[in-house]
Chains A and B, each alone.
Chain A
Amino acid sequence: MEESGVNVINLNQCDEEFIKYLEKFGAHSLKECIQCGKCASTCPMALAGLDFYIKRIIHAATLGLKEILLEDSSVWGCQSCNRCVEVCPMDIKPYEIIQAVRRAAVRDESCPANTYEGLRNLYKNGHAVFPKGFEERRKKVGLPEKPPTLTSHEELKKKFQEILKQTSLADVAPFKLD
């Protein structure tokens, strides 16, 4: 939220294209938010003390403050609990707005590094979460080295990768899909 040392947000930086992008990719009724704050009063991330919680994210989005939204990593803190969607009196589906901002962030290559790692793992191994050295630990407790998922089935993994290549991951992934 800082700008050149002075904590004033310049409203002229409004990016109408960004608003249109969000509306296209999930935030369909973004502009109808009346900032009642019901989502923020139930959001675990607001309760946890995150600066940029759901209500503020939506407001910044309606003002088209792209730089501020994408520079802050708060949208990645969302736990996808969907409480906001259940309580929202205007039915604007706040969680969908979070997702739309995430989509914009991925396209803009401005997400946290571990997001890319998750994507790479998903493509390479079929799991977003893929901790190193798990084979050893599995062996220790008497489990097969690899879990009975895509990771253990080369052929299915190939098919899965073929499917992923046809999604927009092919456009946004900062690594080669091979």
Chain B
Amino acid sequence: MIIATGFKPMSKDHFKEYSPQSPDVITSMEFERILSSTGPTGGELKRPSDGTKPKNIAMISCVGSRDERHHSYCSKVCCMYMLKHARILKEKYPYINLYLFFIDVRTAGKDFEEFYVYTKGLGAKIIRGGRVSSVDEKPNGKLRVRGFDVDLGSPVELEADLVVLATAIEPPDGVDELGRQFSATCGREGFLREVHTKLFPVETSAKGVLIAGCVQGPKDIPESIAQSRAAAASAASLIIPGKIKFEAIVSEVDKDKCSSCGVCVPLCPYNAIKLETYKDKEKAKIEAALCAGCGVCASACPSRAITFHGFTTEQILEQISALVEA
């Protein structure tokens, strides 16, 4: 099973300081549609409010990202797609004044810095250290953008016709519920969590449930493709041998001792326990291939019918008495 739900771009409505009620304040996703030849304007650049051509455009980065009120993480792709939009605009409409407001420009990686320098060369104006504090609607229908330019060491102001917000990448709605159904855990930010950042980057806490793309965290297209191929290879390596190896440290039920109370079934975080008929009674059965060896069932079983191999009650009691004697 591979979970690859993708992401959700944040809505502009969260940012009251940027006048989200104005039709001329749009998100990058909406701007992408305006630029697209199959979009609502047929690829023609227009202000959503009155259909006129914008002359001054401001783009604002880190809207909702790197912000403890919304998402503490960096959405990673915004710097690059802002520059992509800038490049498309400046190549198509060189007379447009384009201002890009960055906290700092994060163009890490092969060819990305070159893309940045190229876009600067086209005449896109970069304002650093200046996340915009406010966008206000003016009586003349334009938008006043207030920022700070760390390179000039001064507050700056701009009257813009169009403001584009590079809103954060968010986990899609319901991904936590989906994760619960497959026993895959979510991290603090709501993305599904990998078992280990370096050693098991596509595996989740549930065996055989793999993740790929933005459901794991913000990432760009090449990374998503690399990760999805890794997930496909991991899935194949589980299926192709025809057999599954599992850990020796798993729990097992002594069905003759089991009182059929069923307490262990909802407790198991990995959905490894179910009840099945044994000598005309419903008894617990642990699927060893799914058991992750956490020991919750063994400690909860009122009849002591569950043995946790490697950590039996006798073994633990022995350890305790050895400690007490020492």
Contacts and interface: CB of A to CB of B under 8 A. Distances in A.
A12 B158 contact: yes
Interface stretch (B75-83, B148-156, B255-263): B148-156
Contact of B157 (A11, A16, A55): A11
Q: Indicate the member of B97, B117, B120, B149 with the most A CB atoms within 10 Å.
A: B120
Nearest to A68: B152
A59 B130 CA distance: 14
A56 B152 contact: yes
A10 interface: yes
B56 interface: yes
A34 B128 CA distance: 10
Contacts of A19: 123
A14 B96 CA distance: 12
B297 to A, nearest CB: 58
Nearest to B58: A11
A62 B156 contact: no
A32 B158 contact: no
Given A11-B156, A59-B151, A60-B152, A31 B97 contact: no
B117 A8 contact: no
Nearest to B156: A9
B151 A10 contact: no
Interface residues of B, number: 24
A63 B156 CA distance: 11
Contact of A8 (B99, B120, B151, B157): B157
Contact of A9 (B99, B117, B125, B157): B157
Contacts of A14: 97, 125
Interface string B145-169: 0100101111111110000000000
Interface in A25-83: 29, 31-35, 55-56, 59-60, 62-63
B154 A35 contact: no
A141 B175 CA distance: 92
A62 B125 contact: yes
Interface residues of A, number: 23
A90 B121 CA distance: 12
Interface string A1-27: 100000111111010100100000000
Nearest to B145: A11
A126 to B, nearest CB: 41
A11 B97 CA distance: 10
Contacts of A35: 126, 128, 151
Interface in B114-140: 116-117, 120-123, 125-128
A84 to B, nearest CB: 15
B99 A11 contact: yes
B156 A12 contact: no
A8 to B, nearest CB: 5
Q: Indicate the member of B56, B152, B157 with the most A CB atoms within 10 Å.
A: B152
Contacts of B97: 12, 14, 16
Contact of A31 (B99, B123, B156): B123
A10 to B, nearest CB: 5
Contact of B117 (A10, A12, A56, A90): A90
Contact of B152 (A9, A12, A16, A33): A9
Contacts of A56: 151-153
Given A9-B149, A11-B99, A12-B56, A31 B121 contact: yes
B155 A7 contact: yes
Contact of B159 (A12, A59, A62): A12
Interface in A65-111: 90
B323 to A, nearest CB: 59
Contacts of B123: 16, 19, 31
Interface of A: 1, 7-12, 14, 16, 19, 29, 31-35, 55-56, 59-60, 62-63, 90
Given A10-B157, A11-B99, A31-B120, 12 more contacts: A1-B154, A9-B155, A9-B157, A11-B125, A14-B97, A32-B120, A32-B121, A33-B120, A34-B120, A35-B151, A56-B153, A62-B120
22 contacts: A1-B152, A1-B154, A8-B146, A8-B155, A8-B156, A9-B149, A9-B156, A9-B157, A10-B156, A10-B157, A12-B159, A14-B125, A16-B123, A31-B121, A31-B122, A32-B120, A34-B116, A35-B126, A35-B151, A56-B152, A56-B153, A90-B117
Closest 5 CB pairs of A and B: A59-B151, A11-B158, A8-B155, A9-B156, A31-B121
